[in-house]
Chains A and B, each alone.
Chain A
Amino acid sequence: MNILPLFILIPIGAAFALSTFDILKQERKKVLVSNITAAAACLALTVLAVMQIGKTGTFEMGGWSIPIGISLVLDGFSAPVLVITGLVSLMCAVFSFSYMDMYSGREKFFSLFLLMVAGMNGLVLTSDIFNLYVFMELAAVSSFALVAYGTMKEELEAAFKYLVLSGVGTVFILMGIALTYGHTRNLSMVFIYNALSSGSAGSGMYLAAGFFMVGFGIKAALIPFHAWLPDAHPAAPAPVSAMLSGVLIKTAGIYAMVRVLFLLFAADLSVASMLLRTLGVLSLMIGVLLALGQWDFKRLLAYHSVSQMGYIALAFGIGTPLGIAAGLFHLLNHSVFKSLLFLNAGAVFYRTSTRDLRDMGGLNAVMPVTGYTSMIASLSIAGLPPFNGFWSKLLIIIAAIQAGYLWLGLWAVLGSILTLASFAKVQRYAFVGEIKDKFKEIKEVPLPMAFSMIFLAVLCVLMGILLVPGIRAVVLDGAAEVLLNPSNYIRIATGGMP
């Protein structure tokens, strides 16, 4: 039996089931049942995704073959992204068990949460550019509602800003799809490859690529288009911020952008790579410089998301097999340590009710789990050995130098040093040093929150093993094969037939 549709069916089914739990009268029962359903769905997704590593496959929805129907395609690029989506959503769901006690309506929260997961899984798997747009909107609409979840002034304002900018991005993407369809008369990625590889791309394709670049740039929050992210991510509840920064901007932003750009410019990648490298370096430097001056813990993390997205875009822009493997590796690592950092910020907020770094201090003494896991995540994002962030940044720098972009390597090192400075500030003000009197009585966070933080911290330490040659060949190198060589993708998408 083909399990690819399950990646969409499980979360959508669970989301609809959750929305019926409103009939349970007791609040306690409602919370318990919602928790169990959400965690079970995320766990199932994670297990299924881990089983798919290194495999390829295709599923024709409704039994219609392309180009009439839409097919789901699993390849070396989508499998690792599916795993990380499942894993981060599982950890965020477990974290929400305790954290979401601050808010009401547990079943509605998890319903939206799982719809977002379904949208992300769908857009990772689909092989049809219009279907990609539909799934992207499914994920985006649920994320708008989740950002506004608290319905206070700040949340509403952030959600409105996010909605408007993301709506503009959506319209740009749709225009890009329209131009691509007008040029190739097809929406299936396989047939677009075929149509574009035979003839010249033409100026129409450059126009389409420009629209796609702006649209996905807004979704990925690359620098000229980043304005919504530092508002939207801090305003959301902590597990939602972790999901948004951890996986949503990657799947809906970078993943979709790389897929579509490498598809449109399959014949000649030089323009697309140049654009990705430029946006990447800009985001990487400006993002980290803006982060340095922030005192709001979550806002600082949000600016670092912009900066780290720059690293990923830069790595994909290098365009060599090593560069693409490095980009994918950094994407996975960033999902883990950035969601961990957002969960840490949430844990601190849960106990101290503040996000201002100047109000904290010496929290290591009373919240050791939060303190030490955030230390691991900070060292990881700053790129210190032996944590995962070091290995992926090293790989990006090696790939840049190998491809002859010495300056890019230099920028990457400089960005990494500034990141270290910024996280030294976080550790210094929030976690080490003298504890303030008003915080002497607080306790460590409850078990579910501590569990998900410890699990992600362990992953931060262990993910370096993805670089061991045998494992790397299975997990990371598959992406370059399908991105740089469309014939491989066509072979997978058509089920092995030429």
Chain B
Amino acid sequence: MNNMPLAYGLAMILFAVGLYGVVCKKNAVKIIISLLIMENAVNLFILLIGYRKDGIAPVMVKGQEASEFASMAVDPLAQAIVITSIVIGLSIVALMIAIAIRLYDRYKTFDTSKMKDLKG
């Protein structure tokens, strides 16, 4: 478990990279990619919370003691959360891409700084 703080830190750095991209990039596609990086950083972080060194997959086989199983398996709840959040993230990204394509139809560009019909 010695490397865990390092792994948490790396997930946080990935999160910060994504945030930088969303805030600073002007291209709609790059913004979408940055948001995906942020989402995946969080997914990674959740998986790390449930991680256990040399743990087994959380599937109980016949004849296994419940207490023994609990002491060996990684946390299944974290994995369930990640699956749900991937599905939600997918729906958001699909909608974003759809809107970005429609925006391209109207403006003939992905550059968000050129979309200035709304002020402020």
Contacts and interface: CB of A to CB of B under 8 A. Distances in A.
Interface in A452-474: none
Contact of A160 (B42, B88, B92, B96): B96
B70 interface: no
Contacts of B100: 160
A230 interface: yes
Provide the main secondary structure of the chain B interface. helix
Contact of B45 (A137, A154, A178): A178
A153 B106 contact: yes
Please classify how large the interface on chain A is, using the bins under 10, 10 to 19, 20 to 34, 35 or more.
Answer: 20 to 34
A441 to B, nearest CB: 30
Contacts of B35: 164, 167-168, 171
B77 interface: yes
A171 B39 contact: yes
A432 to B, nearest CB: 28
A170 B93 CA distance: 13
A116 interface: no
B26 to A, nearest CB: 12
Interface stretch (B52-60, B61-69, B78-86): B78-86
A395 to B, nearest CB: 33
A275 to B, nearest CB: 21
A144 B100 CA distance: 13
B96 A182 contact: no
Contact of B95 (A145, A151, A181): A145
Nearest to A151: B102
B56 to A, nearest CB: 19
A181 B78 CA distance: 9
Given A153-B107, A175-B45, A170 B117 contact: no
Interface string A233-247: 001000000000000
A126 to B, nearest CB: 14
Q: Which among A154, A160, A231 has the highest number of chain B CB atoms within 10 Å?
A: A160
A84 interface: no
Interface residues of B, number: 34
Contact of B42 (A151, A153, A159, A171): A171
Contacts of A144: 92, 95, 99
A174 interface: yes
A159 B98 CA distance: 11
A156 interface: yes
Contacts of A97: none
Given A130-B81, A130-B84, A160 B118 contact: no
Contacts of A235: 118
Nearest to A144: B95
B99 A159 contact: yes
Contacts of A170: 88, 92
Which 4 interchain pairs have the tightest Cβ spacing? Answer: A182-B49, A171-B38, A178-B46, A137-B88
Interface of A: 130, 134, 137, 141, 144-145, 148, 151-154, 156-161, 163-164, 167-168, 170-171, 174-175, 177-178, 181-182, 187, 227, 230-231, 235
18 contacts: A137-B88, A137-B91, A144-B99, A145-B95, A160-B112, A163-B92, A163-B95, A167-B92, A167-B96, A177-B81, A178-B42, A178-B49, A181-B49, A181-B77, A181-B78, A181-B81, A231-B118, A235-B118
Given A171-B18, A174-B42, 9 more contacts: A141-B92, A141-B95, A144-B99, A145-B95, A154-B118, A156-B102, A164-B96, A168-B35, A231-B118
Interface of B: 15, 18-19, 22, 28, 31, 35, 38-39, 42, 45-46, 49, 77-78, 81, 84-85, 88, 91-92, 95-96, 99-100, 102-103, 106-107, 112, 115, 117-118, 120
